[in-house]
Structure 1
Amino acid sequence: MGIHHYIFELVAPTTAIGAVFVLLLGPIFFPRAYIWFLLAYFTTFLYISVNHFLKFCLTVRNIKKNIRDWNAKQEQQSSSRDYDSKEVVKSTATNNGRITPTRNGYTSVSVSMTDDDNKYSEMESALKQYEGQYIHAFVVPNYEEPEPLLRDTIKRLAQHRNATTTYVIILAMEESEVDHTTKAASLKRTFDGSFRDFIITVHPKDVPGESRGKGSNVAYAAREACELLARKVDKRHVVFTITDSDSAIPELYIRQIEKALTESEDPYNTICSPPIFFSRNALDVPAAVRVTDIMWSIMVMQNLSNPRGLAFPCSTYSLSMVLAEQVGFWDTDKDAVGEDLHMWLKCFFKTGGVARSVPIFVPINLTNVQTTGYFSNIYARFVQAKRHYNGVADVAYSLKSAFSGEQHSTNDTPSFLLSSSIMPVYNPSSGKRPSCLMSCSFFDKLVVVLHVLEAHMIPCTSGWLMFAAVPLTQFLLISAYSPISSYYPSFQNPIVTSEFYAYMFSLVQAVSVLLPMPLLLCAMLYEGLHKTVDAELFKKGTNETRTWRNYMDYAWLPVSAWLFMTLPSTLACVKRLTRSNDKYVVAAKNITIFTEALPE
């Protein structure tokens, strides 16, 4: 390992510790440079926030459009079936019972097609266009998760129309969980006959070199399932969907995946990334927890509207079995604890930048952390936040992958793809590579690294600087009670002695006031989206979704931002100096009732 690798490891802890030291010592020891630093940081943060808002607008529009188009097609299909049924009755009376079989198992009379018939036929063809082309393997990792929660999650998949023919459930158990065999057997028995296949894998405990968590569980389950499924189906037709134990996946998401893969020029290097949504138990948790997950959802949603396909998945995502096998499946060491982002980065760099995201604008409904007791619920969310921000390891990983000089090897491409009529053929002796195997540009690598830095370095710095920098500077440099005048009698206050720096600090104050505005605009936009998704996709009633009273949730933003973002991310960054492993703790989800209706 080169010295630059160690330097990359120091980026995260240096940034977090540096933010605190600059905040406390900057106004005293280098006030002029500190004012310039604040102006640059705040301006950059404001630019990023405005960009996030614009991208969030695009995502909201696309989500609403997908949901409404889907509902319109469902209504048309229902009308078509009702129309065909009425025609059957009519034909029995007027055409001597001459009935012929037609599509979808329905029957109709042998008469000429009308314009309405053609419209319905085209609509149904569009609905069925993507059916049956792929086998969907859902990896459901879990450790000490409540069985009712797992049963509810799997039940929602069983409601999908193609579940018995194209769905495979991969229930990824942990050997270290007490009675995992009993729970797995119970779930398999419950859903006997509901899916094409139901596979149970048991990840061994205490594997040398592995870090316990979702990543190692998924890696083991995917490898085992790959071997089993390869004996039964063509692996080129298998799509892995990695999910959480609490993910409610609508049928529309699967339809959109198949559409995206069918339209993709390179489906084997396509990673499907959906938005996440917290609505299953949001009304039953503290407002600070609720608003934290809303902000988390917003950040994921805006990230999806990346025009270059450089969008990071969160929690749930889909990719081909071919791609998973090509990159060596999921990493399992302690630097891969942020399994979703890490796998995306691994696919991107291992394929030379060929692997890209396709946004699937269909929300995956998750549960908030929930325990009995208000303060225990707050603490449980803090524990979850600490685990999430351990993904800061990807800062060093992305820097190493982008700038260490390691190149993608064409030998990583599976041999069966090279002879496939579906994939462009690559002949190593020709010296030429098809466009789908071209390496990414340095610009793409730089953009990916900047996005990773944004995801992890802003949380560990913004809370300190945004909340405290301006008032602390005012106290130290402007207040009559400033300790500087006592301890540093010769100190030259630039804000007092220089008209230019007085103007600069006024500019810093003005920009600081604008910093939360884009986020608040996102929150306003989110409220309308939340109601649309609840009512039109999840079919919730008005008493089961957010109301105007929930707007008061956003008063908790300063508290939740510092408690669930700044503090845990700072701790995660500093911990990189020791690179110690955390205990495997599952987020508490003591949920007994789910109020929303199952989507049709």
Structure 2
Amino acid sequence: LVTVLDADAWIHSFYIDELNRVIAGDRSALKNRIFAPPIIFERNWRDTASATRIQDFCWAALAFQNLNGRSGIGFPLSVYSIPLRVCIDVGYWDTNPESIAEDMHMFLKAFFKTQAKIRLEPIYVAANLVNLQDDTLFKTMNARFFQAERHYRGVVDVPYALRQFFSLKPSMASFIALGKTLEAHILPPTAPFFMMLAGPYCQLLHWTGHRFAGRDFFLVMWTQAFGALGLLILIGVIVPFEQMRRRTNKIVYDRENPSPWYFLYYIWIANNVWQFLVVPYVLAGFRWLLPFGHGHYRVAEKKVKTSQNLDTPSSDARVAPREGKAGPQRDTQLSMAPSTKASPIQ
């Protein structure tokens, strides 16, 4: 197995233990599985701006809900383990600018190159990552914006998935993979308009005495329902993620959880969907229309003070900002969390 992880990611030995247990129970998994854990941001969140912190948590929550599905089709984020045999069979990783979303792109490539045989196997031992942080609030918010723009350049996986989809014989699995790709890149920049603007605006029209009939009435009601449903789905994504996050803090990383009042910070979503989602998504999509600059991007600064209670030296670790070129690149490794107790996963 080859385990790929972001430079700021800690993976606990429990992850390796659980990975070994799954493989020991089904050796065929080494031929048709990619393994991935959920992610959390617990290394420095108490020191970071609440707006950028909540954006990272929502990012991790969406990745968490993506892991669980009967189809076994989903996308890893930041950390995943892939059999070396699969790497060889599909021609390893692509290194062109179009593969900038390397984790998602690698799953799609492996899935389509193996005739839709690859599946995603969740390993429920969360990897621990670092929230983006700079010297000032303004610099931190600015860096998070450009990090989001870099993430959303992965929208180029939509035409890649379409091209690969039509190269295969149609199957339910390939339809699901294409549908999940479209979902991942169409809903984020469009759903906020229904949830934050169109839905409330239609309700306001009702309150001000406007009357609708026929097709207009149907469209207004559908818009309101879609916006309300989006909010319910968002809550249904965040609550299980927070439950997983708190259990992971307590059982795996032996860290103290925040008080329940912490949930009030999620009100930052009302700002973040525009500042860190819609606007950078539009910018990222527009960049792909330009005939230059596809392989250049800026990696944001991350700082973290490692903690004594994780059995690591107390020091400042820092990844300096740099310019990336042509294809996916990982940041400089900060540190790894050693095992401090026996695995509770049996």
Find the residue that maps to 1:584 and give its secondary structure: strand
The answer for the alignment partner of 1:591 in structure 2 is 304
1:323 and 1:347 in contact (8 A); partners too: yes
Find the residue that maps to 1:585 and give its secondary structure: strand
1:269 and 1:356 in contact (8 A); partners too: yes
Q: Could you tell me the percent identity over the aligned residues?
A: 31
* Greater Rg over alpha carbons, structure: 1
Q: Give me the whole-angstrom Cα distance separating, in 2, the residues matched to 1:504 and 1:329.
A: 47
User: How far off is 1:278 after superposition?
Assistant: 0.8
Structure 2 vs 1, CA of residues 251 and 357 (structure 1 numbering), >3 Å: closer, same or farther? same
Q: 2:263 pairs with 511, 529, 551, which one?
A: 551
Cα shift readout 1:80-123 (whole Å, capped 9, x = no counterpart): xxxxxxxxxxxxxxxxxxxxxxxxxxxxxxxxxxxxxxxxxxxx
Residue 109 of structure 2 corresponds to residue 346 of structure 1? yes
Residue 280 of structure 2 corresponds to residue 517 of structure 1? no
Q: 1:444 pairs with 160, 163, 173, which one?
A: 173
User: Number of aligned pairs?
Assistant: 311
Structure 2 vs 1, CA of residues 527 and 472 (structure 1 numbering), >3 Å: closer, same or farther? closer
The answer for the alignment partner of 1:127 in structure 2 is none
Cα shift readout 1:461-519 (whole Å, capped 9, x = no counterpart): 11233322245557889969xxxxxxxxxxxxxx6463674465246435533431232
Cα shift readout 1:42-72 (whole Å, capped 9, x = no counterpart): xxxxxxxxxxxxxxxxxxxxxxxxxxxxxxx
Q: 1:259 pairs with 21, 24, 32, which one?
A: 21
Which one has the bigger helix percentage? 1
Moved more, 277-286 or 526-535: 526-535
Structure 2 letter corresponding to 1:346? K
Find the residue that maps to 2:296 and give its secondary structure: coil
The answer for the alignment partner of 1:47 in structure 2 is none
Cα shift readout 1:545-575 (whole Å, capped 9, x = no counterpart): 3223322211111111221112111221222
Structure 2 vs 1, CA of residues 463 and 579 (structure 1 numbering), >3 Å: closer, same or farther? farther
The answer for the alignment partner of 1:466 in structure 2 is 195
Cα shift readout 1:2-54 (whole Å, capped 9, x = no counterpart): xxxxxxxxxxxxxxxxxxxxxxxxxxxxxxxxxxxxxxxxxxxxxxxxxxxxx
The answer for the alignment partner of 1:576 in structure 2 is 288
Query: Structure 1 runs of 4+ off > 4 angstroms?
Result: 471-480
Structure 2 vs 1, CA of residues 503 and 240 (structure 1 numbering), >3 Å: closer, same or farther? closer
Structure 2 vs 1, CA of residues 321 and 526 (structure 1 numbering), >3 Å: closer, same or farther? closer
Query: 1:216-255 maps to which residues of 2 (within 5 A)?
Result: 239-255=1-17
Q: Flag structure 2 segments of 5+ consecutive residues without an equivalent.
A: 312-338, 341-346
Structure 2 letter corresponding to 1:260? V
The answer for the alignment partner of 2:41 in structure 1 is 278
Q: Give me the whole-angstrom Cα distance separating, in 2, the residues matched to 1:507 and 1:451.
A: 23
User: How far off is 1:578 after superposition?
Assistant: 2.0
**Which structure has the higher relative contact order (CA within 8 Å, separation 6+)?**
2
Cα shift readout 1:233-285 (whole Å, capped 9, x = no counterpart): xxxxxx11011111100111111222222314241332111111111111111
User: How far off is 1:321 after superposition?
Assistant: 1.5
Cα shift readout 1:155-174 (whole Å, capped 9, x = no counterpart): xxxxxxxxxxxxxxxxxxxx
Structure 2 vs 1, CA of residues 321 and 515 (structure 1 numbering), >3 Å: closer, same or farther? closer
RMSD: 2.5
User: How far off is 1:392 after superposition?
Assistant: 0.6
